[in-house]
C-alpha cells in the first residue's frame, strides 16, 4: 500500500467535496494500492492536526463530521474534542504545517492541497514545496500573483498540480502540458472559461434581459455572492493568466486586457452589492441587448472568451459565428480550443462542465493520485 498523506487548506464547497470523494473512493484506491491519509485540515482561522500523522491520519467518521460542521457554518475549533487531534491558530498553525512538511515531505510525499480562495497561502506553499512536498491547488490566487512568486512556486514543476484552476475537472492543464512536452508548439488557445458567463450569454441569446438573467443566476447559486466577481471578467483573466504562464510567458494579471460587463462606476468601491442588483444591473440591459442584436444581424452570437495568442492574453466579449464550436455552446459548459503544429487547421478541443464543486474536487483528487509516481 502506498500511503499519500495530505493537509487540506480550506473547508469551503470544494474542500468538503474533496473529503467526501476521498471517503467514498477508499475501496477504489485500495484496489490501486493507494491510501490517502488526511493528517490536517484548516479553515480560515485554525488548523486541526491528527495526533497520528505517521500512521492513519484522521478517521473517516471524523472527516464526515468536519464536513457537516463546516457546512452548517461552525468553525473547525468546535470539533477539537471530537477527534484525536490538536488545534493551532495563526502563526502556530503555519509553523505546524512546516514542521509536518519537514518530517514527511521528502520521504512520503506529503501533499498540501489548497482548496481555499485566499491570496495568503503562497508563502506557505513555497515553503513546503522547497521542503520536498507536493502542492495541489484548486485556488487560483497563488498562481496569479507576481511572476517572480509564481516562478518560485512552480520551480519544482513536477511536484505541483493545478488542473482544477482552469475548467474545473476538465483536463485542460494536463492536455496543454502534454502538447508542450511533446515538442508541439502551441500558437493559440481560445476558450470560454466561465460557466457563469456561459450561462449569461446563452440566456441573453434567448432574448432575456441581462438584469433578470444575473438575478436568476445568483438565486440558482451559479454566481459568487457578489455577481460582479464573475461579471468583472477577473476570474476568466486569472484562468487566462495561468494558461499563458504555462506557455512560458512571463506576464502578470495587469498585462491582460479585461473587458468588464459593468462600468467602473458600478464597481464594489462605488456601489453595494444590493444596490448593484436592484438598481445598477437594469441600467446595463439596453446596451447588452443591442450588442446581442448587432451580433445576431451578422449571423453571429456573443460569447465571453479568453484569447491567448501572439504573446497577448485578452478577455472579453466577442462576436463568433453561430455554428462555431464556441458559438454552439449552451449553458454552463466550458470549451477550450488549442492550436499547434499538430492541431493547426482543426484544433484540439476539450469541452464539458467547467464549474461545480463535484467536478472541481474530482479534478483535485485526480491530481493527488497523479503525484504518487514521485514517491516509491
DSSP letter (8 states) at residue 84: S
Using the rule CB under 8 A, which residue among 43, 114, 230, 333 binds its own copies?
333
Of these, 44, 102, 127, 175, which contacts its own copies (CB under 8 A)?
175
Catalytic residue at 239?
yes
- Residue from the set 91, 181, 219, 264 that interacts with its own copies by CB under 8 A: 181
Give me 342's grid cell: 499538430
Q: Could you give the C-alpha distances from 321 to 115, 190, 301, in angstroms and in order?
A: 37, 14, 6
**Of residues 47 and 355, the one with the C-beta less far from its own copies:** 355
Please identify which residue in 104, 170, 236, 313 interacts with its own copies, judged by CB under 8 A.
170
**Residue 25 contacts its own copies per CB under 8 A:** yes
Considering the candidates 2, 77, 141, 239, report the single residue annotated as catalytic: 239
Report how far apart the first and last C-alpha atoms of the chain are (Å, whole number).
11
Give the whole-angstrom CA distance, residue 332 versus residue 222.
9
DSSP annotation of 166: S
User: Per CB under 8 A, which of residues 184..203 are in contact with its own copies?
Assistant: 184
According to DSSP H, which parts of the chain are helical?
Answer: 13-24, 26-31, 60-71, 90-108, 122-130, 147-153, 172-181, 195-205, 210-219, 228-231, 234-246, 273-275, 285-297, 325-328, 357-370
DSSP helix/strand/coil, 78: helix
Confirm whether residue 10 is marked as ligand binding: yes
| Contacting range for its own copies; rule: CB under 8 A; set: 91-99, 216-224, 232-240, 354-362 | 354-362
Q: Indicate whether 365 belongs to the interface with its own copies (CB under 8 A).
A: yes
Piece in contact with its own copies (CB under 8 A), picked from 156-164, 252-260, 275-283, 291-299? 156-164
64 near its own copies, rule: CB under 8 A: no
Query: Measured from the CB atom, is 276 or 339 closer to its own copies?
Result: 339
Retrieve residue 123's grid coordinates: 508563502
Question: DSSP state, 276?
Answer: I
Residues 359, 144: Cα–Cα separation, whole Å = 22
Residue ranges binding its own copies (CB under 8 A): 21, 24-25, 28-29, 32, 157-158, 163, 169-171, 174-175, 178-179, 181-184, 331, 333, 341-343, 346-353, 356, 358-359, 362-363, 365-366, 369-374
Mark the binding-site residues for L-homoserine, compressed into ranges. 224
Residue numbering of the annotated binding site:
10-15, 140, 224
Active site residues: 239
Amino acid at each position: 500500500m502506498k500511503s499519500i498523506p495530505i493537509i487540506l487548506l480550506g473547508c469551503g464547497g470544494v474542500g468538503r467535496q474533496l473529503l467526501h470523494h476521498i471517503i467514498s473512493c477508499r475501496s477504489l484506491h485500495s484496489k490501486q494500492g493507494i491510501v490517502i491519509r488526511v493528517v490536517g485540515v484548516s479553515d480560515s482561522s485554525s488548523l486541526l492536526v491528527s495526533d497520528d500523522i505517521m500512521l492513519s491520519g484522521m478517521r473517516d467518521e471524523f472527516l464526515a463530521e468536519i464536513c457537516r460542521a463546516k457546512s452548517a457554518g461552525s468553525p473547525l475549533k468546535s470539533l477539537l474534542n471530537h477527534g484525536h487531534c490538536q488545534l493551532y491558530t495563526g502563526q502556530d498553525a503555519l509553523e505546524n504545517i512546516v514542521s509536518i512538511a519537514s518530517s514527511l515531505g521528502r520521504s512520503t510525499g506529503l501533499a498540501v492541497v489548497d482548496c481555499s480562495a485566499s491570496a495568503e497561502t503562497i508563502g506557505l506553499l513555497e515553503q513546503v514545496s522547497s521542503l520536498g512536498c507536493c502542492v495541489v491547488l484548486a485556488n487560483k490566487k497563488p498562481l496569479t500573483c507576481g511572476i517572480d512568486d509564481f516562478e518560485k512556486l512552480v520551480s519544482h514543476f513536477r511536484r505541483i498540480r493545478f488542473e482544477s484552476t482552469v475548467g474545473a475537472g476538465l483536463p485542460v492543464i494536463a492536455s496543454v502540458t502534454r502538447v508542450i512536452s511533446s515538442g508541439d508548439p502551441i500558437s493559440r488557445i481560445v476558450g470560454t472559461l466561465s460557466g457563469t458567463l456561459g450561462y449569461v450569454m446563452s440566456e441573453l441569446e434567448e432574448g432575456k434581459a441581462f438584469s433578470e438573467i444575473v438575478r436568476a443566476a445568483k438565486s440558482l447559486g451559479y454566481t459568487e455572492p457578489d455577481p460582479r466577481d464573475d461579471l468583472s471578467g477577473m476570474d476568466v483573466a486569472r484562468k487566462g493568466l495561468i494558461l499563458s504562464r504555462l506557455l512560458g510567458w512571463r506576464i502578470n494579471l495587469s498585462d491582460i486586457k479585461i473587458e468588464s460587463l459593468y462600468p467602473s462606476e458600478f464597481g464594489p468601491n462605488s456601489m453595494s452589492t444590493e444596490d448593484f442588483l436592484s438598481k445598477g444591473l437594469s441600467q446595463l440591459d439596453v446596451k447588452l441587448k443591442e450588442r446581442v442584436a448587432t451580433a445576431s444581424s451578422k449571423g453571429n452570437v456573443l460569447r465571453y472568451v479568453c484569447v491567448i495568442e501572439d504573446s497577448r492574453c485578452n478577455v472579453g466579449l466577442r462576436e463568433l459565428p453561430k455554428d462555431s464550436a464556441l458559438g454552439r455552446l449552451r449553458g454552463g459548459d466550458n470549451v477550450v480550443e488549442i492550436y499547434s503544429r499538430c492541431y493547426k487547421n482543426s484544433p484540439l478541443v476539450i469541452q464539458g462542465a467547467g464549474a461545480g464543486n463535484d467536478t472541481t474536487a474530482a479534478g483535485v483528487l485526480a491530481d493527488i493520485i497523479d503525484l504518487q509516481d514521485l514517491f516509491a
